[in-house]
Chains A and B, each alone.
Chain A
Amino acid sequence: MKKETFSKRWAELVTNHPITFIVFGLLLALGLGYGGQFITISSDYRYFFGRDNPQRLAFEKLQNVYSKDDSALFVITPKDGNVFKKSTLTGIHFLTDRAWQLPYSRRVDSITNFQHTFAEGDDLIVKDLVTVEELSDPEDKISFQELREIALNEPLLNGLSINADASVTSVNVFMTFPGKHSMEIPEAVAEARKLVSEFKDKFPGHEVHLSGDTMLNNAFNEAGVKDMTTLTPAMYGVIILIMFILLRSITAVFATFIVMLLSIIGGMGFAGWMGTPITPPSSIAPVVIMTLAIADSIHILKSVLFLLQRGKAKKDAIIEGLRLNLKPVFLTSATTIVGFLSLNFSDTPPFHDLGNITSVGVAMAFILSVTVLPAIIKLLPLKGGKSNKHLNQRGSATGLWITQRRTGIVIVCSVATIFIGLQIPKIELNDEFIGYFSEDNPFRIDSDYTMKNLTGIYQINFDLSSGESQGIANPAFLKKVEEFANFLRDEPTVTHVNSITDVFKRLNKNMHGDLESYYKLPEARDLAAQYLLLYEMSLPYGLDLNNQVDVDKSSTRLTANLGFVTTSEIIEVVTRAENWLKENCPESMHTLASSPVIMFSHISHRNVVAMVKGTLLAFGLITIVMILSLGSLKYGLLSLIPNLVPIVLGYGAWSLLVGEAGFTIAIVGSVTLGIVVDDSVHFLTKFNLARREKGFGVDEAVQYAFENVGGALVVTSVILVIGFAVLMLSEFKMNYILGALSALTIALALLIDFTLLPAVLSFSGGKRTISNKQSNSNRQ
């Protein structure tokens, strides 16, 4: 009761001082919004992993021991299908040479600068496979056939830098980003693209594709920017259109629009103040804020317009509309915020950002809806549209229909929920990260092309230790490494294995006058060590072994490339490989594989585990809020049904309809929970009001609730479904899944709120009482 008086006093205060509240709202939003200028965009996939993520730590350790680089892979396809000819090789040489000058590049590997070793008399010759001098020699002394054979016979090249029929080749640029500012990667990519177009101009008849880690990072970055710049305006358009249809009042639409805009400015400004970088997941925050902000306004405006239709004076209508809605709007905002804040349990920082930015936006939307919104409609002309009494009557009739069939509804819903819920574990989690991008995304196109025609771009690294200083020359160790490399080569998904043992075998052959019978590992340790020393001393700038051998020469990095694989296949290959090492090798070689793709392979599982905790906690908190605000343990606990069932149905339906998902699926529960709850808050609040203030029986109270919030619930649900459906336009699959599954869950929530909830509420009254629906339908 006391709250009601507060609501009323507040409503009067706002309507009496509209200008003051508008100024207050503007100052608040712009104060937060000022931080918007500090917003940065993150273009580092590592940011998807917490600082203490074990897979990230393992990969960082590997990078600290060997080298930390992100590759930019130029894949070159001559249109005539032949790499080994003068024009193409000259082009590759040009590209190799120029790639050294790309920002942050540290190493460039191509077929032209491959360090070819061979015996010449008693000497070991180490030189570029083909030099520009040889290519520009007017007498054309080089044999392209011979170069082709060397390249195809070289295990370091075949299947990595050149494909088996020598029709596609690559220039692999290793870049080391200092990570000091967010423009490093976009800058490098812009230069790489410039180089591609220069190459195409100079060497026509070649197709170029760009892939690799650097391009992946950039694709995340571009997807985020694109989502923000395309989805947000699309959303504005859709929302304004819907509001005109629903509210039929320019003033109401204008006021809602201002609330939405200022909420977004506040939320994004907060991101700026906090130094939160924008990533694809957090780039959708404006759309989510917009979707949620509008619901508050709609509830208040609907009431006001309804009261105006009933002939109330404008000021009274505003005060009464605000009074009726202050508490439910506060509650729904609070539960939404609890849901979004629980994203902080996730293992993926961009989801923390999405949750926090959205929470601030939703808080702003609440504040503005009860200050700026009523102030604006107070100042501008507002007329109640046509009466939609018809809708209310229909609501009442629906209520009656439901309560009369309560047993059937409860049985059908229970069976459906159990059956569909059982499908949830069948969802296959796939985080093959190229699949994160839609099929028309340039990174996806180029990466798919690379995988089909040249090599797999999913790398897994093994840090193999000999267990002793300088031990990589130990023949017993080398033998194990070679066996392991062969084991991996037998894996069907592995397209290439880069192992130091191939270098040792080649050197042994070279040191024995290029006799093929010596293409095997050296048998003596000192011999192997000295071959390696000689080879190392012969390598030019940037092409050293530092990315493959540690400083103490005690361990080596073995890298396998995998082609088209699902996350579960990657985990299987990795597990088999790790077990192989355990079973066949000394303890020093027992190691865990690490790489970006392995990090992503565990991201879903880790997020699901973390978010189950977060979601349950949010659930508990929200149920407590419901119990307290309804002032009833029974109805508070009953609210669990409409809150939980739609989420179970949503996941289960996804499993049946789509079957596959990525790590975003873990957060849908939390995101939708706070929203789904809103419907039950409104419904139960009205139901409770009817029971307490008007002394209705349960069935009459259900009809009352239908009449009073049924229409608004349909309207807000439609808006929410559309809002989340807009996310399905994203090129980033994780945002697509989030949007689609959230929209589905919200639609299911409305269905449950209109069927199962009233049926259960009807049962809650115990023995059925005879109701007089006609007498109730006009009460307000």
Chain B
Amino acid sequence: MKLFQSKIIFALLVISFSCTEALCQEIVPEKERGLWVARQIDQEDAGFVNQVSKATMTLRNKQGQESTRSMTIKSFEVEGDGDKSLTIFSSPRDVKGTAFLSFTHALEPDDQWLFLPALKRVKRISSNNKSGPFMGSEFAYEDISSQEVEKYTYQYIRAEEVLEAKGHVIERVPVDPKSGYTKQIVWVDGETWRIGKIEFYDRKRSKLKTLTFSEYKQYSNKKWRASRMEMENHQTGKSTELIWTDIKFGLDLTERDFDQNALKRAR
């Protein structure tokens, strides 16, 4: 079964490299078209090697109160597995220097550790939390961890204009039963494969959240990154805005910068 799947993926890859978008849509059988789109997104993102950026997260509640957290996020591309990432919190003050290390895996639970400077210890975090909120925000872990193709099954919904370009709408269903979602609807542009927005459906199949990507910039390595991500919770009226700045690629980083010792040195 697995072999068969990977054969299809390989076939799709060949096709995708050898045809234009419009043509592909015709060639890829309807049943495989959703997966094909997911592959395109993954391919477009592949080869970024590593990335360092600063992020500011602003949480808002229905009463209009706001709270901000800021952090530095380093990511490291791993061939044949999910990416590794290291997040170092710089504010709020009480958690300054706290660092979070995560090894994403396609199908197994991610490995996660947290370094607590007040305790001077690294603590492993249990793996059933992927659906839980990240730093009390409206983002769940699974929303911001690296998006491996194998994490979902796909279905193509329709063609639609996304980010002012010809694009696609696909539905993806998480493979992991521990996911907090029953499905996600993804809008992606069909030229540079930038995601426009994602709608998240909760366990009772109601629309829970919408994540909107905006202010896309293209960097020197041709990669597109959104500078602004806004997550709105439709059920609670709360929202979180994530602003990315100082995005840099291709720094001098090795896997040793993403292990438990690195976590303690992080600050």
Contact = CB atoms under 8 A, between A and B. Distances in A.
Contacts of A124: 123, 125-126
B116 interface: yes
A543 interface: yes
Interface of B: 59-63, 65-67, 92-95, 98, 100, 112, 114, 116-119, 121, 123-126, 128-136, 140, 178-180, 203-206, 235-238
B94 A544 contact: no
Contacts of A8: none
A155 interface: no
B124 A123 contact: yes
Given A126-B126, A550-B65, A552-B65, A536 B236 contact: no
B94 A536 contact: no
Contacts of B136: 536, 544-546, 549, 551, 553
B92 to A, nearest CB: 4
A64 B237 CA distance: 8
A729 to B, nearest CB: 39
A551 B236 contact: no
B60 A551 contact: yes
A534 interface: yes
Contact of A65 (B63, B66, B98): B63
B73 to A, nearest CB: 15
A551 to B, nearest CB: 4
B204 A537 contact: no
B131 A552 contact: no
Interface string A13-44: 00000000000000000000000000000000
B126 A127 contact: yes
Contacts of A536: 132-133, 135-136
A537 B129 contact: yes
A228 B124 CA distance: 60
29 contacts: A101-B204, A103-B204, A126-B125, A126-B126, A178-B235, A470-B92, A470-B93, A526-B94, A526-B117, A529-B118, A533-B98, A533-B135, A536-B132, A536-B133, A537-B112, A537-B135, A538-B125, A539-B129, A539-B133, A540-B132, A541-B132, A541-B180, A542-B131, A542-B180, A550-B61, A550-B67, A551-B67, A552-B67, A553-B136
A127 B61 contact: no
A51 interface: no
Contacts of A125: 126
B61 A533 contact: no
A104 B112 CA distance: 32
A552 B65 CA distance: 8
Closest 9 interchain pairs by CB?
A541-B131, A529-B94, A541-B180, A552-B67, A64-B63, A64-B62, A551-B59, A526-B118, A527-B118
A537 B112 CA distance: 10
A126 B130 CA distance: 13
B62 A538 contact: no
Contact of A551 (B61, B100, B128, B204): B61
A511 interface: yes
A327 interface: no
A125 B236 CA distance: 29
A528 B93 CA distance: 12
Interface string A108-141: 0000000000000011111110000000000000
Contacts of B235: 106, 176, 178
B123 A65 contact: no
A534 B125 CA distance: 8
A540 B203 CA distance: 13
Given A176-B235, A534-B125, A543 B132 contact: yes
Given A106-B236, A127-B128, A537 B61 contact: no
Contacts of B125: 124, 126, 534, 537-538
A104 B130 CA distance: 22
B95 A533 contact: yes
A102 interface: yes
Contacts of B133: 536, 539, 544, 546
A61 interface: yes
Contacts of B236: 67-68, 106, 176, 546
Interface string A164-199: 000000000000101000000000000000000000
A176 B204 CA distance: 13
Most chain B Cβ neighbours within 10 Å, of A126, A469, A530, A549 = A530
Given A470-B94, A530-B116, A540 B131 contact: yes
A447 to B, nearest CB: 25
A127 B114 CA distance: 17
Contact of A539 (B67, B93, B132): B132
A469 B178 contact: no
A46 interface: no
Most chain B Cβ neighbours within 10 Å, of A104, A540, A550, A552 = A540
Contact of A538 (B59, B95, B132): B132
A524 interface: yes
Nearest to B60: A551
B94 A525 contact: yes
B67 A537 contact: no
A144 to B, nearest CB: 22
A178 B208 CA distance: 12
Given A527-B119, A536-B133, A540-B129, A105 B204 contact: yes
Contacts of B93: 470
Contacts of B205: 101
Contacts of A64: 61-63, 237
B63 A538 contact: no
A357 interface: no
Given A537-B129, A539-B132, A553-B136, A101 B203 contact: yes
A65 B136 CA distance: 13
Nearest to B58: A551
A530 B117 contact: yes
Given A124-B123, A529-B118, 4 more contacts: A67-B236, A537-B129, A538-B125, A551-B60
A469 B92 CA distance: 9
Contacts of A127: 126, 128
A538 B126 contact: yes
A48 interface: no
A529 B67 CA distance: 15
Most chain A Cβ neighbours within 10 Å, of B95, B100, B179 = B95
A671 interface: no
Contact of B134 (A128, A511, A537): A537
Given A530-B94, A530-B117, A65 B65 contact: yes
Nearest to A100: B203
Contacts of B180: 540-542
A37 B100 CA distance: 59
B132 A551 contact: no
A494 interface: no
